[in-house]
Amino acid sequence: MTSELSRKIYEIMAREMGHLGKFIVEKQCKDMNMDPDNIEEKDLPRVSEALRAVMSSFAGEEKAKKIAMEIKRLKA
């Protein structure tokens, strides 16, 4: 079962990156020893920063910062 926060993050990343979005979330979470389907509110700063770093190479720094802020603001 996927947590509400994980679902929202997957949706944001799918909107930005299509089918690659979910893979990117899973990869970043695994690199941080985190379950990508059970992201909690306390994890949002780390997750958003990891995704910002990856997204800056795909979408540019400005877009990456906007995505990171959107993820940081999510609530369970």
Residue 2's pLDDT is 87
What are the pLDDT digits (tens) for 62-72? 999 999 999 99
Domain that holds residue 57: 4-72
What are the pLDDT digits (tens) for 2-11? 899 999 999 9
Can you tell me the distance from the alpha carbon of 25 to that of 36, in angstroms, rounded to the nearest whole number?
A: 7
Residue 76's pLDDT is 66
Which one, of 74, 72, 54, lies nearest residue 64 by Cα? 54
Total domains in the fold of the chain: 1
**pLDDT over 80 (residue 40):** yes
**pLDDT over 90 (residue 54):** yes
Question: Cβ-count burial of 66 within 10 angstroms (0-12 exposed, 13-18 middle, 19+ buried)?
Answer: middle
